[in-house]
Amino acid sequence: MQTERAESSRNWPLHLGLLILAALWLGPLPAMSRTAFSLHMILHLGVVALAAPLLAIGLARAGLRLDRYARASWLSAAFIAELVVVWGWHLPAAHEAAALHAPLFVAQQASFLAVGLTIWLLGFARQTQQGLVLTLCGFFLTFAHMTMLGLVLIMAPRLIYPPELCLGAFGLQALDDQRLGGMLMAGWSALVYLGATLALAVRLLGDDERPGIEAGPPR
């Protein structure tokens, strides 16, 4: 009994990730995010850059590891898929369709979680030096493309999305709501994905003389 309790306590990231995911998806945010772009961005980032890394840590601690997939082909495919999913769903037509049709909204959120969880699980996989370098590059790519998308939203002189999808949160006008969404994306991606890139760089520099690197989840 005490062993099970200790194991459960040790795997608090999994429980916290599930709690955050439940709060994001079962609370008022999904309905609100379909008419306020900044709230959509909070929902999106909460899934891919808050719940997903916590879930990945918890799942890795529970024994679900992607060590055998930490190869160049899988790593490249995972990070490219993440880029395609994020940019694809933020194309105006796709974003509008997901906001207006519940099945597409569910598909959007599920794909956000799937690609987010995959890249974080790969980030915690045991890897060779080459694999670690590729993972580092993948997280830097994620930081770069999400920051770029955020800057596009911030600097756009007019609405990219239909005005009924940017009605504004926090008393903001539609264009300001869109720009706030861009600021959230750029800032959050810098904090999380650039942070992951730097953490991997530190690990790589510290272990550069080893033939293999065991890049497990944080303890």
Ranges of the chain with pLDDT below 50:
1, 211-213
Cα 153 → chain centroid: 18
Alpha-carbon separation of residue 80 from 94, 118, 139, 142, 197 (angstroms): 18, 12, 11, 9, 16
Angle between helices 92-100 and 72-89 (to 10 degrees): 70
Other CB atoms within 10 Å distance of the CB of residue 42: 22
| DSSP string of 144-196, one letter each residue | HHHHHHHHHHHH-SS-SS-GGG---STT--HHHHHHHHHHHHHHHHIIIIIHH
End-to-end CA distance of the chain: 22
**pLDDT digits over 79-116, tens only?**
999 999 999 999 999 999 999 999 999 999 999 999 99
DSSP state of 51: I
Question: Which pTM value belongs to this model?
Answer: 0.88
Phi and psi dihedrals of 209, rounded to 5?
Answer: -100, 0
Cβ 101 vs Cβ 165: under 8 Å: no
**pLDDT digits over 51-71, tens only?**
999 999 999 888 877 777 777
